[in-house]
Structure formats: structure tokens, C-alpha cells
């Protein structure tokens, strides 16, 4: 039972880290993005415009959320390994079916 609790705590910590990371990136882009020189400044200004437009903001958060779920699912699938299972077939069952 302790293992399940540890697994749950790790999931909560990873979720918090991901959300805080996204929050820091969005906050830093909003605060300092327009001060960047050249192409990075233009890119950050465009990103700020998209993030603060009502419909596009929700759509971008949905896409970010789907991306996070896909990455977490991929990592979990890689960790759990191959789930291919070969059913065990006995020779007597095969002979009975052939009759």
C-alpha cells in the first residue's frame, strides 16, 4: 500500500513541477518578452498577442494540456515496457479444434 502512496505523491510532485514551469515560462514571456532584441523580441510579442487573445488563449492552453498529457503518457508507456502478450496455446486444445 505504501508503494501506491509513493507513486501518487510522485505524480502530484511532477504535476506541480510542470504547472509551475509553464507558469514561469508564461510569466517571463509576458514580463520580459518585448525587451528581447531582434527576431526573439518579435516572436515573443506575437506569442504575447496570441496568449492574451480570448479565444486563442483558451485554444493554446488546450493544446498545451493535450501535449503534456501525450508526453506523460509516452513516458509512462516507455517505462512500463512492451505490453504484448502471447496467449499460451496447448497442443491438446488445437487437436480438439481440428476434429
Distance CA 44, CA 41 (A): 5
Question: Is 25 inside any structural domain?
Answer: yes
Q: Is residue 51 part of a domain?
A: yes
CB atoms within 10 A of CB 44: 18
CA 99, chain centre distance (Å):
52
Inside any domain, residue 94: no
The tally of domains found in the chain comes to: 1
Q: What is the pTM of this model?
A: 0.49
The answer to whether residues 51 and 30 touch, using CB atoms and an 8 Å cutoff, is: yes
pLDDT, one tens digit per residue, over 42-92 is 888 887 787 778 887 788 788 888 988 888 888 888 887 777 666 666 666
In the block, residue with C-alpha cell 504535476 = 15
Confidence of residue 2 (pLDDT cuts 50, 70, 90): low
DSSP 83: -
> What percent of the residues of the chain are helix, what percent strand, and what percent coil, each to the nearest 5?
85, 0, 15
Q: How high is the pLDDT of residue 28?
A: 84
DSSP state for residue 81 in the 8-state scheme = -
Domain carrying residue 14? 2-82
Q: How far apart are the first and last CA of the chain?
A: 49
Amino acid at each position: 500500500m505504501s508503494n501506491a502512496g509513493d507513486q501518487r505523491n510522485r505524480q502530484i510532485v511532477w504535476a506541480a513541477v510542470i504547472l509551475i514551469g509553464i507558469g514561469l515560462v508564461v510569466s517571463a514571456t509576458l514580463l520580459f518578452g518585448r525587451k528581447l532584441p531582434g527576431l526573439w523580441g518579435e516572436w515573443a510579442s506575437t506569442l504575447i498577442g496570441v496568449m492574451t487573445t480570448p479565444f486563442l488563449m483558451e485554444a493554446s492552453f488546450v493544446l498545451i494540456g493535450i501535449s503534456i498529457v501525450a508526453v506523460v503518457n509516452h513516458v509512462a508507456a516507455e517505462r512500463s515496457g512492451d505490453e504484448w502478450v502471447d496467449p499460451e496455446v496447448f497442443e491438446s486444445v488445437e487437436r480438439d479444434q481440428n476434429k
